[in-house]
């Protein structure tokens, strides 16, 4: 069995911290990624943190915990958290958990589908 661990890259520009996550977010990888991202958020104090999920192949409930924890942290420092380009499976998990009402998703497909459902 091949295990893919979650990797990430960061970019900071104009008060926005973008974290591009790659691979899989599960209970094995979430702890270290969470710790490292939190340390960066405390150091940089961004106005906005964007979690780019376009490169995530798999995410379980640990991934939801990772997202919710970063949302809470950004709230504590008066910042904003946004998700970018999650795949369809992640959006479904996100919506089933009721998180779509509190965390913004930047994704044209998702936003268009949401507009259609409100008609």
pLDDT digit string, tens, across residues 51-63: 999 999 899 899 9
The domain limits of the chain are 7-118
**Cα 5 to the chain's mean position, in Å?**
16
- For 70-119, the pLDDT digits (tens) are 999 999 999 999 999 999 989 998 889 999 889 999 976 655 555 555 55
CATH tag, 7-118: 3.30.750.24
- For 38-47, the pLDDT digits (tens) are 999 999 999 9
pTM comes to: 0.85
Exposure class string for 84-103: b at 16+ Cβ within 10 A, else e: bbbbeebbebbeeeebeeeb
What's the full length of the chain, in residues?
119
Torsion angle of C-alpha atoms 92, 57, 75, 97, degrees rounded to 10: 20
**Strand order, beta sheet including 16-25:** 7-13, 16-25, 48-59, 80-84, 104-106
What is the number of other CB atoms lying within 10 angstroms of the CB of residue 112? Answer: 10
């Amino acid at each position: 069995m091949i295990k893919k661990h979650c990797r990430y890259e960061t970019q900071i520009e104009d008060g926005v911290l973008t974290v591009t996550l790659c691979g899989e977010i599960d209970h094995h990888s979430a702890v270290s990624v969470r710790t490292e991202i939190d340390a960066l958020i405390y150091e940089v104090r961004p106005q906005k943190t964007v979690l780019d999920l376009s490169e995530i192949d798999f995410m379980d409930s640990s991934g939801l915990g990772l997202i919710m924890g970063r949302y809470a942290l950004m709230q504590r420092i008066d910042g904003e958290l946004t998700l970018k380009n999650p795949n369809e499976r992640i959006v479904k998990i996100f919506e089933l958990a009721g998180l779509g009402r509190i965390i913004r998703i930047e994704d044209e497909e998702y936003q268009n589908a949401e507009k259609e459902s409100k008609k």
